[in-house]
Amino acid sequence: MKIVMLGAPGAGKGTQAKQIAKKFDIPHISTGDIFRANIKNNTELGKKAKEFMDQGMLVPDSLTLELIMDRFAQPDCENGYVLDGFPRTIPQAEALTKALAEKGENIDFAINVEVPDESIVRRMSGRRACLSCGATYHIKYNAPVKEGICDTCGSELVLREDDKPETVLKRLSVYHDQTQPLIDYYNREGVLREVDGTKDMNDVFQDILAILC
């Protein structure tokens, strides 16, 4: 079962991807993890990626796809995978489709976790992080015992720059410009499925299972 996860930043697609991976015993694959693993293991592809990253440049689509296809060739992907964070653009999606087709394979499901922008802003602006121990909270859904103080180490909690409403809105704008067209692309491919991401995350997962099973 080969699955692509779609959804805006903060929609919860990463959480759902991990649950899908655990349920079906298939790997949850993110480009960030692939980059880190190849760089850590000093592979040839990792060395190439590191050259771009060290210069603050984006890793080219062709190299990213090469790294992903290399990851798909690992034994744990024999029964499928959940791909999270790639593709982000139409050219990436087309290149992935072509590369899979050359192996006689294809994406089975593209699952879009649909959440309105205003809900995402509320979700993310409610997040609080402890910079000392890395614990994360949410003022509504997972509040600390004492407001503004980490339960684990007692340090002050902060609203990270990435979670500020103005930053979230910028990220959403980029998403709508670059990534949202993927929804139309996978719809044309006949593999798009959509779930309501505003529900409780366990209910969202049950909706996904109803699609996959």
Among 18, 23, 48, 88, the active-site one is 88
Catalytic residue among 48, 50, 122, 160: 160
For the domain that residue 192 is a member of, what is the CATH number? 3.40.50.300
Residue at 100 is within a domain: yes
Domain presence at residue 68: no
The C-alpha torsion from 178 through 179 and 184 to 186, rounded to 10°, is: 130
Question: By CB neighbour count within 10 A (0-12 exposed, 13-18 middle, 19+ buried), where does 87 fall?
Answer: buried
The residues near 196 (Cβ < 8 Å, ≥ 6 apart) are: 114, 204, 207
Residue of 18, 23, 50, 171 with catalytic role: 171
Whether 179 is in a domain gets the answer yes
Residue located via tokens 């655990």: 22
Is residue 198 exposed (0-12), middle (13-18) or buried (19+ Cβ within 10 Å)? middle
Q: Which two tokens stand for residue 71?
A: 């990851």
Full domain range(s) for residue 91: 2-27+74-115+174-212
Domain assignment present for 201? yes
What token pair was written down for 115?
């959440």
pLDDT on residue 147: 92
Phi first, then psi, for residue 37 (nearest 5°) are -65, -45
Confirm whether 193 is a catalytic residue.
Answer: no
**Confidence grade of residue 73 (pLDDT, cut at 50, 70, 90):** very high
> Using one digit for the tens of pLDDT, what is the confidence trace for 149-178?
999 999 999 998 888 999 999 889 988 888
Confidence of residue 31 (pLDDT cuts 50, 70, 90): confident
Higher-confidence residue of 31 and 121: namely 121
The answer to the question of residue 6 being in a domain is: yes
Verify whether residue 36 is a known catalytic residue.
no
Longest dimension (CA), the chain: 56
User: Mean of the per-residue pLDDT values for the chain?
Assistant: 92
Determine the pLDDT at residue 115: 94
127 is known as an active-site residue: yes
Quick one: pLDDT band at residue 17, thresholds 50, 70, 90? very high
User: How crowded is residue 81: how many other Cβ atoms within 10 Å of its Cβ?
Assistant: 24
Give me the mean pLDDT over the 189-204 stretch: 94
Is residue 94 in a domain? yes
User: Which tens digit of pLDDT belongs to each residue from 110-149?
Assistant: 999 999 999 999 888 999 999 999 899 999 888 999 999 9
Mean pLDDT value of segment 72-98: 94
- Give mean pLDDT, residues 62-76: 93
pLDDT of residue 169: 92
Specify which of 56-65, 101-110, 137-146 reaches the highest per-range mean pLDDT: 101-110
* 53 lies in some domain: no
Q: What's the pLDDT at 175? A: 87
How many domains in the chain?
1
Whether the CB-CB separation of 163 and 81 falls below 8 Å is answered with no
The question of whether 128 is a catalytic residue gets the answer no
Question: Is position 18 within any domain?
Answer: yes
User: If you count DSSP H runs as helices and E runs as strands, how many of each does the chain have, helices first?
Assistant: 9, 8
